Amino acid sequence: MKKVVLMCLLGFLCSCATGPIHVATNQTESMKTSYADPKMKKLYAENETLLKGIYTRLNSSNVNFYKEGLGLAILNDDKNEKLHYIMVNIRPSEITFDEKATKPEQRFSHVLSNYFPKYLYYIKKEDLKRDDIEGLAIGIYWPVRDHSQCNQYGGFVEYIHIYFDREDVFDFLDKRKTFVEAVNNAEVITSLDLQPAKSVKPKF
């Protein structure tokens, strides 16, 4: 089982008052520029122009980024070797759920099946044809709110991160693999219902 180096990103907001804002409002807020690992620093410097291009591409289509959601991510393989991924974490404005009307598993399945295939097509093969880049780490975040109280603010944040091997992304974009086939080879991490992040194996 692969082990993911990640931060537990749980956002909790109160009532209907405006709480913490998790959506980046510009390129600076979208980019993760600080890395402790020397290899990550080097890779960021080599790929900064690429990452800014990804920002421009998605921003021109009104796709919101999670704060510091665009950059690089690390995944440790079975031999505890570090694999490096282009990281794209987004917060699409069209995804929101009523806590009272949905269950965590329903929200997970809906986002996985309906939104990940859509947003994978914003990625180009050239984005991943980089030295020392093994794949794509794409994450989708969404708010869960009590709509009887407020459907604009408050609630909490859930997310799914998927770490795809580069070749699986290529095969999906070229329609040689279905989304389900690509996900079956990927590492999937999720945090639902304010619970700690965990690795899961989706069932379709």
pLDDT of residue 179: 97
pLDDT of residue 8: 36
| Global confidence as pTM | 0.88
Condensed to tens digits (0 to 9), the pLDDT of residues 108-117 reads 999 999 999 9
Condensed to tens digits (0 to 9), the pLDDT of residues 14-52 reads 345 555 557 999 999 999 999 999 999 999 999 999 999
Instruction: Identify whether the C-beta of residue 145 lies closer than 8 Å to the C-beta of residue 14.
Output: no
Helix (H, G, I), strand (E, B) or coil at 47: helix
Q: How far apart are CA 170 and CA 175, in angstroms?
A: 8
**pLDDT above 50 for 183:** yes
Total length of the chain: 204
Other residues' Cβ atoms within 10 Å of the Cβ of residue 50: 16
Provide the pairing of β-strand 135-145 with 82-90.
parallel
Q: List the domain boundaries for the chain.
A: 3-136+145-200
Determine what percent of the chain is predicted with pLDDT higher than 70: 87
**pLDDT above 60 for 88:** yes
Q: Comparing C-alpha atoms, which of 82, 90, 70 is closest to residue 27?
A: 70
Return mean pLDDT, the chain.
90
pLDDT tier, 7 (very low <50, low <70, confident <90, very high otherwise): very low
Residue 195: CB partners within 8 Å, gap ≥ 6?
none
Concatenated DSSP letters for 89-145? EE--TT--EETTT--HHHHHHHHHHHTHHHHHTTS-HHHH-STT--EEEEEEEEEEE
Instruction: Identify whether the C-beta of residue 132 lies closer than 8 Å to the C-beta of residue 79.
Output: no
**pLDDT above 90 for 5:** no
Q: Comparing C-alpha atoms, which of 33, 98, 28, 96 is closest to residue 59?
A: 28
* Sequence letter at residue 65: F
Does residue 71 or residue 7 have the better pLDDT? Answer: 71
Instruction: Identify whether the C-beta of residue 169 lies closer than 8 Å to the C-beta of residue 152.
Output: no
C-alpha to C-alpha distances, 75 to 5, 105, 116, 200, nearest whole angstrom: 6, 25, 19, 15
Condensed to tens digits (0 to 9), the pLDDT of residues 43-87 reads 999 999 999 999 999 999 999 999 999 999 999 988 888 999 999
